[in-house]
Structure 1
Amino acid sequence: MKIIVIIPAFNEAKSIDKVIAEIPKDIVGEVVVVNNNSSDETSKVARQAGATVLDEPRQGYGFACLKGIDYAKKQKPEIVVFLDADYSDYPEEMRELIKPITEDGYDMVIGSRALGERQAGSMTIPQIFGNWLATNLMRLFYGVHYTDLGPFRAIKFESLLALNMQDTTYGWTVEMQLKAAKMKMKTTEMAVNYRRRVGKSKISGTIKGTILAGYKIITTIFKYL
């Protein structure tokens, strides 16, 4: 199956080449790095590592993902994998992440850090609590069982397009999961391992980022009721 990997990246020059190097190229047709208004050499490093680089000057995780989706429409992949650029995930686990789609017909697979092994310090206490709260609210209001809002995920491209994603910032992952639940898509989770990222997080690494992300996630949950 034709697979494209989309990696939103904001000032990740120190890690993006490591991420790209560990993506299993024998199953992935193209790696797309969306440079989200970086002020460092993220674009240069990503190109040198063999990725297709797109520029999205509008700041926001969702903006970057939407840019990648627009590009993917021209390539017509069967599966899209979303992966962070900070080297906190293990890209080689992609082989297992896509199996429920390729072998069992699932629409979407969420890589769950809650089910996998987390390196000490890889997630902050607000992150852990936020994931717990968000997933429990989704279970309460939408009747769907998730354990994480992990960004490492795979989805059939036709299913992704059907979701008509709109969020441009922090609510991207929860919007995808909620819409999939409302549309009765066949989804599952897979345990993935997680390590301390390279560099400092622009979201969980700051008080402002943590508060804004938490607010957006909670409001997104109620938005689609």
Structure 2
Amino acid sequence: MSIAQVRQYMVEGDGDAAVALVKELIEKGTPAKDIMAGLTEEMGILGQKFENFEVFLPDLMIAGDAFMQIMSVLKEHLVTASDGAAKTVIIGTVKGDYHDIGKNIVGIVLQANGFNVVDLGADVDPVAYLEAARKEKADVVGLSALMTTTMPGQEEFIKLVSDAGDKGKYLVCVGGAPTSVEWAERIGADVWSFDAFECAAKLKKLLA
């Protein structure tokens, strides 16, 4: 009985077995955060394999479905206290990119840390981010890119924010497997994070 076995069940799409094992692990004292970290890492590995044509869309879909099933159990154990009014974070995957598993993980972790999350989904146009940020009076806009070919969508949004006169009204957070802190600095993003947990920690600190 281990986190490695939960990961294997998830990859195989056996959500029921994964959920049963997760419940056992939590009862025996395994931190939910550790389980979540293992699942996040496994989804990252699958995403990389997908880009390398080692696995295919159906593989991602069955693992993603199992992941969401597991999260229905883990969410309540990840929740932490929130100080004051909840900060609003707009999230989405940039235009031309339909990979949303990583973005979904970030959304779940942010919600668990007391943030109000507005998820725009995948293939999001820069203007849609801008409109949502204004409508929701966002504190943060987070843009995910899972392919090198869609990374420029993050830079395009940052330029749009500046041209529209919204620069400084909210933080712009970028992430995704092909991105890096160097990329974030180059395009003028406010925040880059290695994973969902680091993202939540950084935003809580910056918005305190």
Shared fold (TM-score greater than 0.5)?
Answer: no
Please tell me whether Structure 1 or Structure 2 has the larger radius of gyration of its CA atoms.
Answer: 2
Alignment TM-score, normalising by the size of structure 1: 0.28
Query: Going by fraction, where is helix more abundant, 1 or 2?
Result: 2
Alignment TM-score, normalising by the size of structure 2: 0.30
Higher relative contact order (CA 8 A, sep 6+): 1
